[in-house]
Structure 1
Amino acid sequence: MSEDSFDLGPRRHPRRMSLTPMIDVVFLLLIFFMLSSRFGMDAVLPVAGGAEGAGSEWQGAPRLVDISPDSVSLNGVETPEAELAGALAALMPEEGAAVILRPRDEADLQRLVSVMDGLRAKGFNNMILVE
């Protein structure tokens, strides 16, 4: 028997493998990981809300801190940020009394948080945020 006796017809080219199912799986994995991952750190700002709407009597001198993009004012008087805690301590009637924070002149959230962190580091934990 010679090779010519087994004629199987014209030679077929091997079929190319399709990449579409693999691409679909990659996109599904990409969507899964995008939806299940967390893209940032969630931070909670502990700010007093006035005891759920119940009124309380204010004690002591006013303690209103106006936060601007480039300055900080205590009761309308511009105060260097490094001296803010000392000036506030002189106005506190008791430890734990509230301090009112008011962002002004397009002050961004990061500026507000940095002032709050500075006050919290000096022991002022009761802060009320107003518009």
Structure 2
Amino acid sequence: MPRRQRRRRRLSMTSLIDIIFLLLLFFMLTSTFSRFAEVELAAAGSGGAVSGDIRPLFLRLGADGLSLNGDELALEDLAGRLAQSAGPETTTPVLVSLGDGVTAQRLTDLLVALRPVRGVAVTVLGS
């Protein structure tokens, strides 16, 4: 008895295209393009000049503490202390130096605490 040859069925791409279109539509409608929370960050660069009459504030961030110009203080007290130290009509540079073991979350917490302080320009120094 002779074997019948099987005919290959052509694969239809219509179903696959429909599924891809539905997935694309789903992700477009459920994603958001607005920025939830953004922290401004300036990296230290070469050639940046600071006016001679404005003294920068030095902030040392450690894994478990921080100090402003050598004085230890808590993160909660930092905004009030900087508001007193910063000049009202000029922008005071704040240089942030990172200690060993500082996590990205700790740095983000610091930058969020500095956000409401007016009159300061924060620069994070690299290691």
TM-score, length of structure 2 as denominator length: 0.59
Q: Which residues of 2 match residues 1-131 of structure 1 at below 5 A?
A: 10-12=2-4, 14=6, 46-48=40-42, 53-60=47-54, 62-95=56-89, 96-123=91-118, 125-131=120-126
Greater strand share, 1 or 2?
2
Alpha-carbon distance change, 54 to 100 in structure 1, aligned in 2, over 3 angstroms? closer
Equivalents in 1 of 2:48, 2:117: separation in Å? 28
What's the offset of the Cα at 1:81?
0.5
TM-score, length of structure 1 as denominator length: 0.58
Secondary structure of the corresponding residue to residue 123 of structure 1: coil
CA contact (8 A) 2:55 2:93 kept: no
Secondary structure of the corresponding residue to residue 115 of structure 2: helix
1:36 paired residue number: none
Relative contact order (C-alpha < 8 Å, sep 6+): which is higher?
A: 2
Secondary structure of the corresponding residue to residue 114 of structure 1: helix
Alpha-carbon distance change, 122 to 54 in structure 1, aligned in 2, over 3 angstroms? closer
Identical counterparts, % of pairs? 28
Alpha-carbon distance change, 101 to 54 in structure 1, aligned in 2, over 3 angstroms? closer
Write the letter of the residue equivalent to 1:47. L
Q: Highest CA radius of gyration, 1 or 2?
A: 1
CA contact (8 A) 1:61 1:92 kept: no
* Alignment: residue pair count: 104
RMSD value, Cα: 3.6
CA contact (8 A) 1:66 1:101 kept: yes
String of CA shifts for 1:103-128, please: whole Å, max 9, x gaps: 11221222212211210123355111
Secondary structure of the corresponding residue to residue 92 of structure 2: coil
Alpha-carbon distance change, 74 to 54 in structure 1, aligned in 2, over 3 angstroms? closer
